[in-house]
Structure 1
Amino acid sequence: MSDATLRTASPARGPRLADTPWRRFVRRFRKHRFAVIGLLTLLVLGVLAVSAPLLTPYTYDEQDFSIIGQPQPPSRAHLMGTDELGRDGFTRVLYGARISLLVGLFSALIATGLGVLVGALSGYYRGHIDTLLMRFTDIMLSIPLLPLMILLSGMTRPGILLLVCIIGGLGWMGTARLVRSQFLSLREREYIEASRALGGSNNRIMFRHILPNAIGPIVVSTTLAVGSGIMLESALSFLGMGVQPPTPTWGNLLNSASQWLSGAPWLAIFPGLMILITVLAVNFLGDGLRDALDPRS
């Protein structure tokens, strides 16, 4: 058979792309439709929050004195109505997204960093270090989280930075237990023994060899912690213990709306919907990441 015949008989095939871990992750993640929707929702919310000054002609504390005293329903001029001080609801919800998303994201990063450090030390060294750190973690878990945050917030009247530190500093325990379990399992693997035999230092083994192999559960835990941070910030602000007016957050918008629930329900509906949508999107994203990062899927 001639070369021309062989070329005709064999279908033309382009170069195949290598099936890398990243491609497998993307393929698994795209199968989780709710996770994709959650990611797109969070991206849209982030863009809206950052672009707030460009999307509305008002500032968050600008007042219309012609309608002051009584909240106004949604209209073409005010898409989400106004509050009793004549401030535009849409503007305040967008600016509130900035604070709520910022607090949720950075408090989750702080909680994850502390949890990874405590869990890594506990799971790798075991013995007395493990006992000391895990008993301290158990003590922290036994304290009701929200009342403790209310107590600290009431004592300090925190700004945004301090509120982030309070939420992040009291939310690391679940991540610490998760990381500890991963380190206890991974430290016994053959490649860890080989690295130890070759003279690898403890820090190198912990953070160069073990931690990258435990990154999947850590990423999922961080994602879900963002939702928890947003909920805690909203709860504290609703109770008047978080970010103080006139700076808007979704929580203190709900607090301000509580006295107008019967006459102006839109003041509570819109920030409440934003909290609901954001937390659902974060949870969907976390579920998708968990499935995509699971090597058994």
Structure 2
Amino acid sequence: MATAPLGEYPRARRAQVTPADAGLATYGVRRVPGLRREEVAMSAGMSVDYYIRLEQGREKSPSAQVLDALSQVLQLDDDARLHLYRRAGLTPTPTRVSVPERVDPELLRLMDMWPDNPAIVLGRAYDILAGNRLACALFDGFKQGPNLLKKIFLDPDAQVFYRDWEQVARYTVAGFRLLQGRTPNDPRIREVVEDLSRRSADFVAMWERHEARGTRLASKRFRHPEAGDLTLRINAFDVRSTPGQELIVYHAEPGTSSAEALALLGTLAATGEEEPVHSALTLPGYRPS
């Protein structure tokens, strides 16, 4: 009987996981380089017969729960888990994410090469993981902590800084609601929601509207204490090297007063003390506020 594509994959992957990797004790001489079928089945909480049918291609419709269990036992990363799901003809639900977020060093270098454009990298819970010098000057050094939602709702100057504060807040909360729907078990997203629910009645009111929106505002109007009023257009890009991260770049229309204000802000940033924020969430001792 020909082996189905799904069967080939877990069989090859179990050969690459040793009992020690899986936390299993071993006794006697082993005839296979990795895990035995019965060890995979036991660790994944399924019968040996069912797992054998999977490898032989006789089980055509494994459930998402079965694939998740196999992914854990076979120690598949996100890409390998996605491949397993695709082999089975399913689309995976997002995994629970708990590891610190880091920004690709090449992306950091690229951002630092943009002296005329504020640029930030947002993480999976709208944490500001990185910002170039001009972005730090625009957002006043992220003094309310590196999280965009907390900047909007907890900064006492936010409703002056964002000239259309209510619109900005509603769009940001709706985007965050969409993130939560995609990864409902993400501990960092839950932490941000719980913290803001305790500290901001405005957030609670908007959160309870249950608006979910992926579209960002095309532009935002700011009132900076030193540079004055700016209207900046926004371009958002998914970071392919780190799924879940988003690069946000701001720019002013040439020849406008906003372009002049942004140039002034760039001069102030170049002569001031603002330093780029690089992977703030991975700095030693950092704890999100």
Q: TM-score range by the shorter chain?
A: under 0.3
TM-score where L is the length of structure 2: 0.23
Would you tell me which structure has more strand in proportion to its own residues? 2
Structure in which a larger fraction of residues adopt helix: 1
Alignment TM-score, normalising by the size of structure 1: 0.22
| Relative contact order higher in (CA < 8 Å, ≥ 6 apart) | 1
